Amino acid sequence: MELVTPDIGLIFWQTVVFLIVFAILAAKVWKPISEALKSRDGFIRDSLQSAEAAKEEMKQLKADNEYLLKEARIERDNMLKEATKIASDIKEAAKEETSKISSKMIADAKAVIETEKKAALADVKSLVAALSLDIAEKVLRKNLDDKKSQEALVKDLIKDIKVN
């Protein structure tokens, strides 16, 4: 049983050695370990604060990105509406220009047709007048070959003339 129960001297020397080792550890090792733990604690706190700040910044960036995306979509929609309106205006202007040009061409064509018509009528009238004169000349020559017919014609013409 002696092996199981320690002697008082052994307990004393173990206590003395423990206290010496404890004093050496407290003097030489405990401070650096404590400072390292404090430094590690501060680093972890700073890291957590940085992570929290980064998290908040990411939330803010996400909100800003969503706002910018919303603004970009609104601007895109406005640009599309404006482009559609401009295209519609260009089409309308082209239609109006085409209408004006076609109206002018029609008016010019009508004027040319009217001028040609008047020229043709004038040609026909001059031709009819020339033919009438030729016919009248031939008829008069035939009818007025003798003296009696000439006198009868002059008398008829004098009767038709009215004096005012």
Give residue 136's identity as a one-letter amino acid code.
A
| Mean per-residue pLDDT over the chain, rounded | 87
3-state helix, strand and coil shares in percent for the chain, rounded to the nearest 5 = 90, 0, 10
What does the CA dihedral 136, 142, 143, 149 come to, rounded to 10 degrees? Answer: 130
- Listed in sequence order, the residues at least 6 apart from 150 whose beta carbon sits closer than 8 Å to its beta carbon are 144
54-89: per-residue pLDDT in tens? 999 999 999 999 999 999 999 999 999 999 999 999
Predicted TM-score (pTM) of this structure: 0.40
pLDDT bucket at 131, cuts 50 / 70 / 90: confident
pLDDT at position 164 is: 44
- Determine contact, residues 140/146, Cβ cutoff 8 Å: no
pLDDT at position 127 is: 82
Region of poorest pLDDT, from 35-44, 102-111, 114-123, 140-149: 140-149
Q: How far apart are CA 88 and CA 83, in angstroms?
A: 8
What does the CA dihedral 39, 40, 44, 46 come to, rounded to 10 degrees? Answer: 20
Q: What is the mean pLDDT of residues 33-46?
A: 92
Q: What is the mean pLDDT of residues 34-41?
A: 92
Position 102 pLDDT exceeds 90: yes
